[in-house]
Amino acid sequence: MAEVGKKVKKITLRGLARVAAKTAIGLGLFGVIFLAVGFILATPPRYDGFAVSPVLLGADGEPLYVGISADQELAIPLSLDRMGEIFPRIAVAVEDKRFFSHPGVDPLALARAAFQNIKNRRVISGASTITVQLVRLSQPRPRNLWSKMVEFFQALRLERELGKDEILTVYLNRAPFGGNVRGVGAAAAIYFGKSPADLTLGESAVLVALLRGPSIYRPDRWPGRAKVRRDMVLSILRGKGAISEGDERRARLEPVTGKRFSPPRKAPHLAAYLLDPAESPRWRWGAEGYAGVPTSVDPALQENLEKRLLVALGPFPGEVNGAGILVSNRTGRVLAYVGGVRREGPTFHVDNARSRRSPGSTLKPFVYLAAFADGKLGPSSLLADSPLGLGGDAPRNFDGEYRGPVAAGVALSESLNVPAVRVLRLIGEERALEVLREAGFTVPEGRAFGDSLVLGGMETSMLELAGAYATLARGGEAVRPGFDPGGHYLGPRIFSGEAVWLINESLLSPRLLGPGLSGESLAIKSGTSISLRDAWLAAYDPAHTLVLWLGDPSGRSHKGLTGLASLSAAGVQFMHDLGPRPLWPDPPDGLERFRACPVSGEPASPFCPGSRWAWRIKSLAKSHPCRLHLRRNGQTVTAWPPELSRLTRGPGHFPVRPGPGPQVVSPKPGAQVVMDGQNPHLQLKSEGAVGLVHWYLDDRFVGTADKRATITIEPGPGPHKVSLMDSLNMTARSEFTVVEKDSPKVADKDTPLPIID
């Protein structure tokens, strides 16, 4: 009986073993089938398509302006390489150290989590990989066991569709970082005012800490908590060998200040111009162009232009705003765009760079350009700055005075109104409008402007002015400014290179800028609209074109709002900030120099009161000599035209230059002046000047004297420059060097040096 019992027991144990084995195999097969079916049936989540912020990018690829996404969040989309080296590396080390080796689910992490949770009889550890976290962010579910199983299956499928770098990129762009901050690009900007690529190790550790508790560890609200969690992250990194002991020590010393920065908001008017509304399908991850609109705007130049404009606005009330555009003449790209520098008030939203305003005198160069190109005038040609012969109410100059006989080039550089009207009438309004259209201005169809065309009667925009003046800077080749960093906005030649060169030469007038502003090699044209509503300045050289504006967007006038006085300092100083200016090109082959009468500007005759060098276009040159100075009854007479004849009689006649122009005779150009320390004075003398002479030393005004008088200065040792301007606005200069009497430079007795007294 006992033996039978043993047999039964033995048979039963074998049966149980077989049953257990079959059960295990069955469960294993079921598990495999379950996993296979789950993997096959699991639909990977739509990981893309989430809302991102509309972003305007600068020429350096960094955000200039960031808006709010359709989900009312700040989310600056970045590629992995623009996140820098530190943050992605330590994020992986802390969040998912086997990220680059597991298939989406980490079996080792699962086993560890299961053991720790069973041992402690509560959940103390998870096993979510970065891929699983991305699945959870893309398709939120209730937190339960079934949801975890689905997320694991979807993670496996997602890894089959995407590469590791893409998964990491999407995750770091979608992860929440507290409040409405989404993604590392926005987090770095808001909490540290930086790009992720510029974060330190300590700052990167703060953001990694936020991945585990976006609300708990926000450094702007809970800097103490953020610091504790950051130090824990640093300890984890040190324990995993991801950073050195020295790195950890230095990172722990970095303060957590609790600051919150504003998102990038440079060039807001350009952003409004170029960016679609946040609700546009474009601003979804993965859509075409979702990473931002690239522009050619240089952030440093943008910031500097805003600073210069704010200084220029200093004397004016808050309603007056300023705008400016800088264009690269080499490509036609816009390098800086300020639609309104003051960011408060009811008119801040107005983009003054595109608004149509009265341009004042800024269209005058293009009217003169037509006259030069057609051979009707040259820079030396005589024009009458007088009201006679115009009929009706003749326009006055800004200072309310008339200057009488004046050369066309001088009339242009000084922006005289009556001569400009005479030039407009000479070429005709249709010809003037034709040139303005070719220059890129929008000309209303079927509208007659009359004389007001050159006085600010035809409205235009700063963007159009910038393109037109850049066309002058390029010698007549068309420029239509644009914002694409890879674009070239240059067109064919539209104007005579010879005529444009003459215009540029006429506008090279540093003497107009006043003391302390060195404008050599810089072409300047200002403009002021009627009743002081708009102040303009165009400044350009072969490399860059700058257009500035001050005014009240509501159209009200303001005392002192004039182009040259209000903007010359800002314009010249900004152009100086760009670095050394390139040289202007030599005169085109189609130009020639000739000896001109200093009054009429025509080829000098034996009866003219001297002569001076002037430029003219060869193919349009007239051979007849000066018709202003004639010989009658054995005497030389001046046959003034009717518009000048009555104004040039009697004691109030206009001055006429008797010779070739003023010269500085002390100190002579190139002289080396030996100064005695006990008598450091130097006399400034001139010849050939007319009327009062204004003297400048190193671009600093030192005094005014009669043409026969002298000015005393005390220059120190070293190189210097003196310049003068007389009553006919003619200039002269002299560069010299001052050395002390006992200086080694004058010790060579074999080389006598001039001593100027």
Q: What is the pLDDT of residues 285-329, one digit of tens each?
A: 999 999 999 999 999 999 999 999 999 999 999 999 999 999 999
Do 157 and 84 reside in the same domain of the chain? Answer: yes
Backbone phi and psi for residue 714, each to the nearest 5 degrees, phi listed first: -130, 75
Query: Mean pLDDT across the stretch 13-41?
Result: 50
Residue partners of 24: CB distance under 8 A and separation at least 6: none
Which of 95, 159, 248, 306 is flagged as catalytic?
95
pLDDT value of residue 749 = 34
Q: Is residue 646 part of a domain?
A: no
> pLDDT grade, residue 382 (50/70/90)?
very high
Q: Angle at CA 434, nearest 5°, toward 430 and 440?
A: 145
Ranges 1-15, 525-539, 609-623, 625-639: which has the least confidence: 1-15
Q: Residue 7: pLDDT above 90? A: no
**Total length of the chain:** 757
Question: Looking at 53, 195, 355, 361, which residue is catalytic?
Answer: 361
Angle between helix 201-212 and 223-239 (nearest 10): 100
pLDDT the model gives residue 35: 52
Task: Determine the angle formed by the axes of helices 497-507 and 364-373, rounding to 10 degrees.
Answer: 140
Among the ranges given (25-39, 301-315, 445-459, 638-652), the one the predictor scored with the smallest mean pLDDT: 25-39
In this structure, are 156 and 232 located in the same domain? yes
My answer on whether 73 and 136 are in the same domain is yes
- What does the longest C-alpha to C-alpha distance in the chain come to? 170
| 100 occurs within a structural domain | yes
Say whether pLDDT at 729 is over 60.
no
Q: Left (φ > 0), alpha (ψ -120 to 50) or beta: where does 326 sit?
A: beta
As a whole number of angstroms, the distance between CA 360 and CA 532 comes to 10
Q: How far apart are CA 532 and CA 640, in angstroms?
A: 35
CATH at 704? 2.60.40.10
**CATH for 200:** 1.10.3810.10
pLDDT tens digit string along 648-671?
544 334 444 444 567 888 888 888
pLDDT at 12: 58
pLDDT of residue 144: 65
Average predicted confidence (pLDDT) for the chain: 84
Considering the domain boundaries, does residue 396 fall inside one? no
pLDDT reported for residue 404: 84
Residues 83 and 232 in one domain: yes
Q: Are residues 91 and 28 in the same domain?
A: no
63 lies in the same domain as 185: yes
* 434 belongs to a structural domain: no
Look at 12-21, 22-31, 101-110, 489-498 and tell me which has the smallest mean pLDDT: 22-31
Task: Let me know whether 97 and 209 are in one domain.
Answer: yes
Which of 206, 232, 252 is a domain's end point?
Answer: 252
Q: Are 361 and 456 in contact (CB under 8 A)?
A: yes
Active site residue 95: yes
Residues 4 and 112 both lie in one domain: no
Give dist(CA 284, CA 289) in Å, integer. 9
pLDDT at 538 over 90: yes
**8 plus 67 within the same structural domain:** no
Same domain, 161 and 25: no
The candidate with the shortest Cα–Cα distance to 352, out of 483, 460, 482, 489, is: 460
Q: For position 189, what pLDDT does the model report?
A: 96
Please provide residue 33's backbone torsions phi and psi, each rounded to the nearest 5 degrees. -65, -40
Residue 480 has pLDDT above 90, yes or no: yes
Quick one: which H or E segment has residue 64? strand 63-66
Q: Which residues pair with 595 in a beta bridge?
A: 613
Strand arrangement of the beta sheet that strand 534-540 belongs to: 334-338, 321-328, 544-551, 534-540, 523-528
Alpha helices in 488-539 (DSSP H): 497-507
pLDDT at 331: 97
pLDDT digits (tens, 9 = 90+) for 85-116: 999 999 999 988 889 988 878 777 566 655 55
> HSE-up of 539 (CA within 13 Å, CB side)?
30
Q: Is residue 141 part of a domain?
A: yes
Does 344 participate in catalysis according to the annotation? no
Is pLDDT of 748 > 50? no
- Asked if residue 76 and residue 18 are part of one domain, the reply reads no
Structure tokens at 144: 């339960």
Which pLDDT band, with edges at 50, 70 and 90, does 37 fall under? very low
Closest CA to 338 of 270, 430, 414, 419: 270
Last residue of a domain, one of 252, 285, 305: 252
* 209 has pLDDT over 90: yes
Could you tell me what percent of the chain has a pLDDT over 70? 81
* CB-CB neighbours of 98 under 10 Å: 12
**Mean pLDDT value of segment 190-198:** 95
- 210: tokens are 């936020």
Same domain, 14 and 97: no
Give the rounded distance of the alpha carbon of 612 from its chain centre: 42
In a domain? residue 231: yes
Q: How confident is the model at residue 348 (pLDDT cuts 50, 70, 90)?
A: confident
Number of independent structural domains in the chain: 3
Nearest alpha carbon to residue 313 among 556, 567, 517: 567
Residue 235 lies in a domain: yes
* Residue 5 pLDDT greater than 90, yes or no: no
The DSSP line for 169-211 is HHHHHHSB-STTEEHHHHHHHHHHSS-GGG--HHHHHHHHHHH
Residue pair 621/594 in contact by the 8 Å Cβ criterion? yes
533 contacts 546 by C-beta, under 8 angstroms: no
Residue 391 lies in a domain: no
From 454, 268, 470, select the one nearest 352 (Cα to Cα).
268
The residue segments making up the domain with residue 248 are: 55-252
Domain boundary among 209, 231, 252: 252
Mean pLDDT for 160-167 is 91
